[in-house]
């Protein structure tokens, strides 16, 4: 295992699979199997998942809703995905703990850093729900913050693309993929890795990010085995 403790960031939208909305159980169980695979090899796994398949705060604002209100609704959406993922991971035979940044004590533990670390040490997969608990922050920021707090070795950002390109590969056929890029270089080239809050948190705390295609089964394990998968962003 190249990395011992990881924070896996999953996109809510990916959970839709081929559906237009909501959660595709098939996709969920494929994710769970892949996570189990690396867990069985000894990785400590923490997860943050987005909520875009259910609700997006930014779009709510476009529709005239207060941004803060929309962001809180988005945080609740991440809790729905977190609970779905928790169930899928448990079906796959893993032990899990869900911690929420907003207190919901009937369905989740509150976020307690020391406790999260202890769960990881005991081999439980820890899911962090409800983002950072604050509006104006994305789940990428939540992933960065939690990763730093628990001293993760790396953030693995699972997406539908297989890394970071010089330009949008769907629009520009000459676009090429980076295997490695520094934070500084990614910033000066204006490449979108994560939102700036998340990006800066990682850069300033020397936490590498690997952007990779989570929807190709096997990628997660290959990456953990130290193979070249996706793009690594580091100092
Ligand atoms: P250890 O102390 O390491 O044994 O961890 P543990 O998580 O097993 O301890 P605990 O006995 O506190 O938790 C047992 C179960 O209750 C776990 O599934 C927790 O996720 C759950 N749990 C703990 N605290 C809360 C809470 O505040 N709300 C809810 N809904 N569940 C909780």
Give CA 80 to chain center in angstroms: 15
Question: Beta-carbon neighbour count of residue 127 at 10 Å?
Answer: 27
How many whole angstroms from 110 Cα to the centroid of ligand 1? 10
Distance CA 31, CA 15 (A): 9
107 lines ligand 1 (CB under 6 A): yes
Distance CA 92, CA 101 (A): 25
How many residues does this entry show for the chain?
A: 235
124 lines ligand 1 (CB under 6 A): no
Predicted confidence (pLDDT) per residue in 156-196, tens digit? 999 988 999 999 888 888 999 999 999 999 999 999 999 99
- Name the closest-CA residue to atom 1, ligand 1: 119
Q: 212, 185, 178: which is closest to 199 by C-alpha?
A: 185
97 lines ligand 1 (CB under 6 A): yes
Predicted confidence (pLDDT) per residue in 92-149, tens digit? 999 999 999 999 999 999 999 999 999 999 999 999 999 999 999 999 999 999 999 9
How many whole angstroms from 10 Cα to the centroid of ligand 1? 24
Pick from 45-54, 62-71, 87-96: least confident = 62-71
Domain definitions of the chain by residue range: 5-234
Q: Per residue, what are the HEC states of the chain?
A: CCCCEEEEEECCHHHHCCCCCCCCHHHHHHHHHHHHHHHHCCCEEEEEECCCCCCCHHHHHHCCCCHHHHHHHHHHHHHHHHHHHHHHHHHCCCCEEEEECCCCCCCCEECCHHHHHHHHHCCCEEEEECCCCCCCCCHHHHHHHHHHHCCCCEEEEEECCCCCECCCCCCCCCCCECCEEEHHHHHHCCCCCCCHHHHHHHHHCCCCEEEEECCCCCHHHHHHCCCCCCEEEEC
* Angle, in degrees to the nearest 10, between helices 25-40 and 67-91: 60
- For residue 116, is it left (φ>0), alpha (ψ between -120 and 50) or beta? alpha
112 lines ligand 1 (CB under 6 A): no
Q: What is the CATH number of domain 5-234?
A: 3.40.1160.10
pTM > 0.75: yes or no: yes
- Mutation pick for ligand 1 pocket among 86, 87, 90, 97 (CB with most ligand atoms within 8 Å): 97
What was the pLDDT predicted at 178? 97
Would you say 188 is a known binding-site residue? no
How many whole angstroms from 109 Cα to the centroid of ligand 1? 7
């Amino acid at each position: 295992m190249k990395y011992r403790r990881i924070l896996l960031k999953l996109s809510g939208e990916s959970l839709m699979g081929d559906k237009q909305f909501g959660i595709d159980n098939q996709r969920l169980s494929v994710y769970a199997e892949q996570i189990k695979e690396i867990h069985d090899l000894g990785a400590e796994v923490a997860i943050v998942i987005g909520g875009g398949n259910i609700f997006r705060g930014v779009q709510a604002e476009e529709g005239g809703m207060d941004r803060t209100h929309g962001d809180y609704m988005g945080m609740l959406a991440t809790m729905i995905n977190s609970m779905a993922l928790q169930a899928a991971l448990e079906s796959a035979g893993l032990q899990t703990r869900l911690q929420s940044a907003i207190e919901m004590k009937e369905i989740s533990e509150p976020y307690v850093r020391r406790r999260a670390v202890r769960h990881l040490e005991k081999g439980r997969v820890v899911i962090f729900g409800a983002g950072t608990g604050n509006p104006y922050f994305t789940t990428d920021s939540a992933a960065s913050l939690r990763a730093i707090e628990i001293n993760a070795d790396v953030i693995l950002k699972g997406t539908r693309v297989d890394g970071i390109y010089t330009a949008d590969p769907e629009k520009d056929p000459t676009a090429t993929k980076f295997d490695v890029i520094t934070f500084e270089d990614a910033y000066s080239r204006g490449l979108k890795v994560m939102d700036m809050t998340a990006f800066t948190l990682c850069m300033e705390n020397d936490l590498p990010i690997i952007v990779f295609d989570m929807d190709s089964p096997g990628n997660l394990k290959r990456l953990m085995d130290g193979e070249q998968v996706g793009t690594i962003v580091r100092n």
